[in-house]
Amino acid sequence: MTHTSASTPPPPASLLPVAVLLWLAGLYLRVPILVAPPLAPFISSDLGLNQTLTGALTTLPILMLAIGAMPGSLAISRLGPRNTLVLAMVVMAMGSAARGLAPEIVTLLTASAVMGLGIAMMQPALPALLPRWLPPHHVAMGTAIYMNGMLMGEFVGAGITLPLLVPLLENSWRLTLLAWSLPALLVAAALFLPKRDLARPTERAAWLPDWSNPLTLKLGLLLGLSASMFFGLNAYMGNLLAQTGHFDKLSQALFCYNIAQVFASLMMLKMARQWVGRRSMITVTAVISVAGTTGAIALEGWWAIASATLMSFVAGILLILLVALPPLLARPGETGRLSAGTFLVGYTLAFTIPMLGGVVSDMTGDVRHSILVMIAYSVLVLPLIRTLDLKPARAESSGS
């Protein structure tokens, strides 16, 4: 049976529905994770959780983003990126919804881990799907679209849940989780509407990260720079402001800090085709990210918050610049494993570097030292940018 080649551009009329599907899939990369913090007080009160277990509702799925990268790559090599994305969204939705039915903490954390696994499998599937759904000159834009959905999901999940959705659902955290989770099944079903890439791969492609490819480790280490500073400063913001006597500004600080990444993704919708693949943009955004993080601990009050918000904005741009590289630099059949390796390294570091910073901070009694650990790591990996080979790979003659 013949099917459309991956190199054949879809008709223009099909680009808008594809863009909508990419955006909705991107939204569910973060909404299920970021609804946990606003619901945490309700869950903790109902199930009697301590602070560690309450925090695990958010940190466990983030850890799964690294652990689940390999199953995602394996599924892409066996099922194809579209089928993998559908499967991953179903796993994510069912795991997320199961949290709302959990009678006790073990079931709740197990469901959270399953949800995180689904999201982790979605991450390499999306960039692997782009070359099959979009013509080459739209791949960078496709990345910007689903990343805009992802970053919007961070803001919507954290910002809309408590003031709007919870009151509508009679202050039930269980119903709120179900309301956020189940619509993802409709998105998963809609992913079959575009007529491209319906077939499974005709050959079993390699799925383990190619560690002999320098890009795998380099992109992962640089992704760790962006993600560790964003997640780390987010985690320690309250303690940092409390130490400097500005804890009363925490709510406004977190709002500005997280919405900055939404604006970053909006800018990338405009500038993706001009900026993606340019070493100079990666360098500038990485350096400004480090400078903004440094300002967050060197300054106080609103100046520190403004510096942190600048870092969040620029780190959001850097994140998109890095995530957009695998579909640009790898052949379509190699995109999944390159993305998976990048996410494996990047999100492992996004979890471990802030944790290491916390250990150092506990030893010294100064929360600023936790941020200094992230800055030190970032300065160490900055020189890698100069060594990146940013030549696009030649497309394969046929796709599946």
Write out pLDDT tens, residues 384-394.
999 998 887 65
At residue 388, the 3 state secondary structure works out as coil
Most confident region among 37-46, 170-179, 239-248 by mean pLDDT: 170-179
Judge whether residue 182 has pLDDT over 90.
Answer: yes
What average pLDDT score do residues 253-270 get?
Answer: 88
Query: How far apart are alpha carbons 224 and 376 in whole angstroms?
Result: 12
Judge whether residue 360 has pLDDT over 60.
Answer: yes
Residue type, 56: A
Alpha carbon of residue 184 to chain centroid: 17
Calculate what percentage of the chain has a pLDDT beyond 70: 90
pLDDT, averaged across the chain: 86
Please report the pLDDT score of residue 238 as a whole number: 78
**Burial call 320-351: b when 16+ CB within 10 Å, e when fewer:** bbbbbbbbbbbbbbbbbbbbbbbbbbbbbbbb
Please report the pLDDT score of residue 92 as a whole number: 97
Please report the pLDDT score of residue 15 as a whole number: 79
Judge whether residue 199 has pLDDT over 50.
Answer: no
Residue 142 vs residues 22, 136, 254, 389: alpha-carbon distances, Å: 7, 10, 28, 22
State pLDDT tens for residues 279-306: 999 999 999 999 999 999 999 899 999 9
State pLDDT tens for residues 23-71: 999 999 999 988 887 888 888 889 987 766 776 787 788 888 888 888 8
Q: What is the dihedral of CA 302, 257, 109, 360, to 10 degrees?
A: -50
Please report the pLDDT score of residue 13 as a whole number: 52
Please report the pLDDT score of residue 200 as a whole number: 47
Residue type, 66: A
What average pLDDT score do residues 329-352 get?
Answer: 83
Please report the pLDDT score of residue 12 as a whole number: 52
What average pLDDT score do residues 219-245 get?
Answer: 88
Please report the pLDDT score of residue 365 as a whole number: 86
Asked if 153 contacts 181 with a C-beta cutoff of 8 angstroms, the reply is no
Please report the pLDDT score of residue 45 as a whole number: 85
Phi and psi angles of residue 36, each rounded to the nearest 5 degrees, phi first? -65, -45
**pLDDT grade for 204, boundaries at 50, 70 and 90:** low
Please report the pLDDT score of residue 197 as a whole number: 53
DSSP letter at 278 equals: -
**pLDDT grade for 209, boundaries at 50, 70 and 90:** confident
Please report the pLDDT score of residue 352 as a whole number: 86
Judge whether residue 331 has pLDDT over 80.
Answer: no
Q: Which residue has the higher pLDDT, 206 or 264?
A: 264
Please report the pLDDT score of residue 247 as a whole number: 84
Window from 15-19, 78-82, 208-212, 278-282 with minimum mean pLDDT: 208-212
Question: For the chain, first and last CA: distance in Å?
Answer: 11
Window from 104-113, 155-164, 173-182, 205-214 with minimum mean pLDDT: 205-214
Judge whether residue 106 has pLDDT over 60.
Answer: yes
State pLDDT tens for residues 135-158: 888 888 898 999 999 989 888 887
Judge whether residue 397 has pLDDT over 60.
Answer: no
Asked if 224 contacts 318 with a C-beta cutoff of 8 angstroms, the reply is no
| Of the candidates 260, 21, 295, the residue with the CA atom closest to the CA atom of residue 146 | 21
**pLDDT grade for 196, boundaries at 50, 70 and 90:** low
Judge whether residue 221 has pLDDT over 50.
Answer: yes
